[in-house]
Structure 1
Amino acid sequence: MSESTGRLPALPVTFRPARTRAVLHAAGIALFVAVSLIGLLLKQLGPGERISFVFTAALLAGVLFLLARPKVVVDEDGVTVVNIVGRRRLEWAQILRVNLRPGDPWVFLDLSDGSSMPVLGIQPGIAKARAVDDARTLRALAEDRSTAGPGTVRD
């Protein structure tokens, strides 16, 4: 959302921690290459042990790729929250409040069923200003859509 104009972004829009994601992907690839090369270059290892090095490298890289998975996809009908191992679709009416308080590791959604849901796709770790802006935009979209009703086009 542009602070100067107050206009909401065109939907659909995706929020994700881009820098964190880039770091995790780079680390996963580097880890896979390094561990695999070590396993393949050690002459005293047999074929099974070499395969286990590559398998272990793939497993460790896979964990880093899972950590890079979180995102929030916002469209006219609601919000899809993708966390590390789960995905949940929310209608606009289910979202009561979007919270990112000082010290929070990520955004939390207060839901109409009385629960709170973590949204790892917006986290202030490496890029705090970006996360705060994304949280404000998601809050403005939730407020706009929950009062307008699903599918309502606003000017």
Structure 2
Amino acid sequence: MMFQARPRKVRLLSIIGAVLLVAVFTVVAILLRNTPTGVYFYLSDQVAMAGIGVLIACGALMFGRPRVRADLEGVEVRNMLGSRRYAWQDIESVSFPDGSAWARLEFPDDEYVPVMAVQAIDGEHAVAAMRELRRLRREAETKTEATAETR
């Protein structure tokens, strides 16, 4: 069984923000030629202004990128810039500390990895995701113990 979670509200806000950024920069690019300042703007300046808007919008969309996938073998965490898979036997716990913006995977020696896909702002969706991650961890632990006993 595969479980997957993504942030909801931040993802929606990043899409809306990206659309607004492209719209604003496009309007500015169109109006760039009609300035009473005496400065001459060319077509290349307008294209560059629209291009800057697209690049900033792509940056805004990165906030909606996080995802977590889990199964009985382990957890794949994709945050804004990278993705990595962790085996359940390496993970001590799945936690959501008080006041934290997102969940995290706890490892030995006080190390942890943020799980930006499970965010506090998502409320009940985050609670359900945490329950499912913890359930999968328990099942994987039980499966490992059963395998060790049969040996």
Q: TM-score range by the shorter chain?
A: 0.7 to 0.9
CA contact (8 A) 2:3 2:132 kept: no
Residue 74 of structure 2 aligns with an amino acid whose one-letter code is: G
Residue 96 of structure 2 aligns with an amino acid whose one-letter code is: L
* Aligned twin of 1:146: 141
Residue 130 of structure 1 aligns with an amino acid whose one-letter code is: H
Higher mean C-alpha displacement, 101-110 vs 37-46: 37-46
Query: What is the CA–CA distance in structure 2 between the aligned matches of 1:100 and 1:146, rounded to whole Å?
Result: 20
* Aligned twin of 2:23: 33
Instruction: Structure 1 unaligned segments of length 5 or more: list them.
Output: 1-10
Alignment of 1:1-155 (within 5 A): 11-44=1-34, 45-112=41-108, 114-125=110-121, 127-149=122-144
Higher mean C-alpha displacement, 112-121 vs 47-56: 112-121
Query: What is the CA–CA distance in structure 2 between the aligned matches of 1:90 and 1:146, rounded to whole Å?
Result: 14
Under a length normalisation based on structure 1, what TM-score does the superposition of the two structures give? 0.81
Query: What is the CA–CA distance in structure 2 between the aligned matches of 1:117 and 1:144, rounded to whole Å?
Result: 21
Residue 39 of structure 1 aligns with an amino acid whose one-letter code is: A
* 3-state secondary structure, aligned to 1:149: helix
Taking only the aligned residue pairs, the percentage that are identical comes to: 26
Residue 127 of structure 2 aligns with an amino acid whose one-letter code is: V
Name whichever structure is richer in helix by fraction: 2
Q: What's the CA shift for 1:96?
A: 1.2
Q: What do the CA deviations read for 1:3-50 (whole angstroms, capped 9, x no partner)?
A: xxxxxxxx2121111122111112111211221222123324312211
Q: What do the CA deviations read for 1:73-119 (whole angstroms, capped 9, x no partner)?
A: 11332111000101111112112101112211100111246521111
Instruction: Structure 2 unaligned segments of length 5 or more: list them.
Output: 35-40
Query: What is the CA–CA distance in structure 2 between the aligned matches of 1:17 and 1:51, rounded to whole Å?
Result: 33
Query: What is the CA–CA distance in structure 2 between the aligned matches of 1:71 and 1:142, rounded to whole Å?
Result: 17
CA contact (8 A) 2:72 2:136 kept: no
* 3-state secondary structure, aligned to 1:102: coil
Larger radius of gyration: 2
Query: What is the CA–CA distance in structure 1 between the aligned matches of 2:2 and 2:109, rounded to whole Å?
Result: 25
When the two structures are aligned, how many residues end up with a matched partner? 140
